[in-house]
Structure formats: structure tokens, C-alpha cells
Structure 1
Amino acid sequence: MSINRDEALIKYLGSELPVRIGEVLSGDERTIIRDLAGLCMETLNKSCNALGIECSGDEASNAWRVIERVIELSGEFVLARYMAVVVGSEFIASRASPVIISMLSRDLLTCLEKVRVIVLKMVEMGKSWREAYGLGD
């Protein structure tokens, strides 16, 4: 699988997504976790073509395939844990205490930033994160 340069994705990751994240962070805790999860799903789905993944199913399945590919290319296994929060965000927002929601929202923010930086650099360079930074296999 190759990594393709995608100018629209580069613009989205480089300038549009940070603004949208800032807008989301102005909401209440339950809205923040839902909206961050939505941005994470959106970001992963927008990354399908650039990462050589056929995304034709539902949004959550597509996002999961993309996150697995990002993990494979970067070695950032913690992203799988964050993705579990994305998938469970509706449940968490409706049942968890504000303290838990706040903690998991910070995890989603970390996830979004990791995905944003990793995918952006890979798409700009046309190489896996591991290859670009000499991390081996």
C-alpha cells in the first residue's frame, strides 16, 4: 500500500482541523466528547484514500481500518485505545461523570493531534512515519 499526496487532506489537517478543534472545545463536557469523537471519525475517514484504504462501509468501520493502518505505519499503538473511546463516546457522554468525561475528552484531543500530525507528515512525505523517521519495522 502506498501513501498518496492529497492536497485537500494536507490543507484540512494543517489548517482547518486545528480551527475546528478549537471551536469544539468551547462547548460543555458532554458536547465536547461527542464532537471530538466526531472530528476523529471525520479525520480518519478523510484519510482513507491518501493511506490507500478502500473505505466504502460505515463511518466507524472505515475509521477503524484507517487507525489500524496509521498504527501499522507509525507504531503508535496507543491510538487503538483512543479509538475505543471514539467508538464509545455516545455511551460515555450519556452515563459517565463529568470527571471521567473530561479525562477521556483529553484523551480524544491527544488522539486527534497525534493522528493529525502523523497523517499530515506521511501524506506530505509519501512515506510511513517509521520510514521517514528511521524507526525500523
Structure 2
Amino acid sequence: MDLVSWSLNAIDQIFSTRRQGGGEPSCPDVTFFSGYTIDSWQKWRIVCLSIMSVEDVEDMYIIGCLISGFLLFGVSGYLAYREIQRMSAAVLAIVRLPGMCDGIFRAISTQTEMLRELNRRLDVILTQDRRSWTQG
């Protein structure tokens, strides 16, 4: 923490003690000269910048992280959409094969019938068990 406060103090002192040269334009007290820009009237103007505080830098980092998070979220959503689209195309290609459909649908219907039979047997067992509870 001492190194950070020392470096910030050193930067503040460098910029606060900076003196302008003979030909440099003057800037307000808490700003320093950083360059020139041309405006819409084709006139050269000076650019004066102020020193950013730690809070300003924190705000810039927070905004940068938020923007990066939104961009990563968007990219991952696009990649997931592309993967789902690729998988659904592969499933549709399998289902549309003429010889393959019959075997898949037959296996599914066989398993469905087995589950229905097991469900019917469980219903019989449960009704018998309920009767024995009510009588006993």
C-alpha cells in the first residue's frame, strides 16, 4: 500500500510542478497541456487534461468489466445457439433416414409398452395393499 500511495504522490507532484515552456499555450491551474486538435472551423485548439483520481479509474475499470461481461455473455449465447442448431440438424438427419426410423420407433414403442405393463402391475399391488390396510 505504501508503494501505491508513494507512486500516486509522485505522479501528482510531477504533474503539479510541471512548468510550461516558452511557446506552450496556457491551461487552467489543475490541468496540463496534452496536445492539439482541429475543430470544425478548421482551427487548431489546445487540449488540456486533468489528472484522474482513483475513483475515476475505478469507475472506468467497473464499466470496462461490465462491457466485457456483456460481450462474453453474448458470444457464449451465440456459440450455444450454434451448437444447438448443429445438434438439431444432426437429429433431424437421423430421423429422416428411411431404414433407421422404423427401428428407433419400434424400440421406443416396445419400451413404452413394457412401462405400461409395469405401471398396471404396480397399480394392482397398491390396490391390494390398500385393502389390507383398511381391513386390518
Query: Normalising TM by the smaller chain, what interval?
Result: under 0.3
Higher relative contact order (CA 8 A, sep 6+): 1
Which has more strand, going by share of residues? 2
TM-score by length of 2: 0.24
The structure that has the greater radius of gyration is: 2
TM-score by length of 1: 0.24
